[in-house]
Structure 1
């Protein structure tokens, strides 16, 4: 496919006020001749959405059902009454499938992004996937829908985009392309090198302070537990027709090499760059062409050392739990994801300790035997039941608070970071 700059692609962006949304709109704003924004969605930060509407003039927006009337009034007061306001889950699906847009950027964090992203796939759109949970929860069903509806699926996660860039354009399978191993890099998060015992004292403030990337709170905690890497491993398996045995996770603290592919002849191809999400976003937006992203070039003269190490499965068991869930198959990855979202939310609310996130996930996986994941209703049912199971487990635990009684305000369904543009 060759993009004609005189015919702009029309973009719908789900999760416009999060860090990925912010980065996407930054890239789009640099190329007004190439891209036009058709639709935006937001969940809580409707004040920020209003500002984005003023800047990008979308035709449609989607907000929570209870906020439709109020937001429509705010748009009218701002002279933007022509923007259609859609509400709730049905509104998200309508926005995602709007025929006026040819490209969907799926940047809603968590399970909430599954339904509208799948709807866009079924509408045959080009989907830029930043929501890893869609594949974690419904990998086989999702990838079949991509094939059945002739959709284009391009990975936006920095690691998966790096793998995509390191594979041949004609890629169909590891064997056919002579690939020996996919090397999925991880920063190691803020607690790399710490013992399992020391992690009992971790606070939410410490967990969301990522050393390299600026991200929303939920993803930052996932990075700290290495669950983010576990979810990415599952996602990589579906995207690249691989198994966990085909993928090695390598801790690379500098976050300069975003992932690598090792070939049968011994060659290793890697994608490098500064840790800024605008790079993979620009790549996916323009593929197969290249456009400027606004990211500073990598300066090898000041780079310093690049180091690598194996992940610590004892201190960070979430990565292994993800591998086990993928091996179990069926609805097990959906249960893993649901339990993790509940556990992370409980940790951010200081209801459980950092090290107990993995305990909640492990318990929930043991309680929910894998079922068939051939139908979306079955997947969503297990997602709901797993959340109830995890919440019940947390409620019956007697957990001594080990941190100060400050509160965190971000939910697991929408990021609020706007100062930078990363995830890992």
Structure 2
């Protein structure tokens, strides 16, 4: 069998740049100290590492002050810190059907605990995006505290009109939380231009860092709107039993994943050198080829991809009469192609796409190291599987 073809970068990136492996290994073998815990040379090295990583991430996302960036353990962790920190009893939240369970489940729990009013904006299947007119109508209905939107669907990859939606929310006095798990590192992301109030992203997807890393952005003075959803030792203000109120310590209780941050720093430096514009261009070309060729196949339906330049690097599809999870098993066992199948932790999106009965979709998501040979292998495999299902009802 051929070597593995990895097309699951929307779940977690693989492979990583070689510098990421080296940085993690070097930190584990040669450092061993914790951030903010003492004044010996090892802890000073840790402090410098964290500050370098914070500065690098801020530069990548066009954030003026590195202290606006806090490190978390993953995207879900960051979203929980922000949602639980911001929302109060009786608040109204507007969100979308595109959201991941990392947003939906905290909202459902807080809806019960805090008697929130959670409403969903309409999805426009012709554009693959949240309908801005629907968001505006909901904002106009009554006072809203928070708009929660993802920057790109993890099912279709369609990039959402975040700048337009943020402007609308601010016109009506609502704050905006952006889930950038599928865009940070995959597409150019300028938080200053987007003007969102809060952002959370994972470090292990498009940013190419290790698992166990994540980032949160809090706009200037917006931390004053947050409560500490997690508190404890920060290495700062240790004489006080109260949680620090200044960023980033406010959100960084407990020891950090320093080997992970060493890898994340190396990954961000690699992204800067390679230039995200170039990476996004390659991903756009590869996913456009996948989408175009799969659309031409009998019995194959592609979701999203109305605009090749408005996609984070994802192609989702189904095969008539096939359960998508079984298709994924065939891709893995017969073709050594690794793809994500199922509902992708986004059940409302699959309901909107009407893919629940097919077990969700099969999702291909190339990355910076995906080759044209990988893309052609995937196309050929889907053609064989679709032909077998439609013509014979048999596995290839």
Q: Tell me the TM-score normalised to structure 2 length.
A: 0.31
- Bigger relative contact order (CA 8 A; separation at least 6): 2
Q: Tell me the TM-score normalised to structure 1 length.
A: 0.29
